[in-house]
Copies of this chain bind each other. A is one copy, B any other.
Amino acid sequence: MAASAYARLLRQLCGSFSNQTQAFENPPLFAHILITTRPVPQLERGSLLLEQAYAITPSTPYRIRVLRPELSEGQLIIHNMALQEEQRFWGATGDPALRASIRQEDLTPLPGCTYWVREQGDGFVGEVEPGCRCLVERKGQTAYLVSHFELFPDRMRTIDRGHHPETHEQLWGSLAGAFEFERTDDHSAEIPDPWLAKDLETPGTKSGESSRL
């Protein structure tokens, strides 16, 4: 059951998403954003490359990450990693050769930024682990990230906010509400079969440790 949830999480994450409907229904409160997530088979089990960009500039993502869902002691989590010299990999979600060039050593764990995930209906909800340790900088000001997502078979809802590390005051984020993405493409067929095998519970790992394949 739990292993199957892991496979389902992998599948639901692997897609292309767009909030075009929301952006066009609510001008000018929501930028039009594209998210694409694809598996990177040469990396550790479950490694998914994510690129997030304004629709107007799809080839220059403002966020590029490797996400790695893992079933750790019965708990679904998603490791969250940055890429070193990330510009090298811009566009890799649409470029198989570039994607194939990503090595495990190109990844940098983002401490405190692991998502904790639970099943909800046909989908999942997740949020950044407790501790206020997922620090992000915006215009020279440090904030901790409060990030929440809801994943459905055909859509995804996300909300990110930055809070002051000491006062906990909200520094940035959308008061207009969550971003509402529709799935415009499904890339789950690219997931290597062994990643979806039911019998594997990966051991609890710290980021950077290799998990069992």
Contact = CB atoms under 8 A, between A and B. Distances in A.
Interface of A: 23-33, 52, 54-57, 62-63, 138-139, 170, 172-177, 179
Contacts of A31: 23, 27-32
A176 B173 contact: yes
A25 B139 contact: yes
A175 B179 contact: no
A45 to B, nearest CB: 30
Contacts of A177: 172
Given A173-B176, A176-B174, A28 B23 contact: no
Copies in the complex: 2
A179 B63 CA distance: 22
A177 B172 CA distance: 8
Nearest to A61: B27
A170 to B, nearest CB: 7
A1 to B, nearest CB: 35
B56 A32 contact: yes
15 contacts: A23-B31, A24-B62, A25-B139, A26-B172, A27-B31, A27-B62, A28-B62, A29-B173, A30-B31, A31-B31, A170-B175, A172-B177, A173-B176, A174-B174, A174-B175
A133 B188 CA distance: 51
Contact of A54 (B23, B62, B63): B23
Nearest to A175: B175
A139 B31 CA distance: 18
A173 B172 contact: no
A55 B28 CA distance: 11
A63 to B, nearest CB: 7
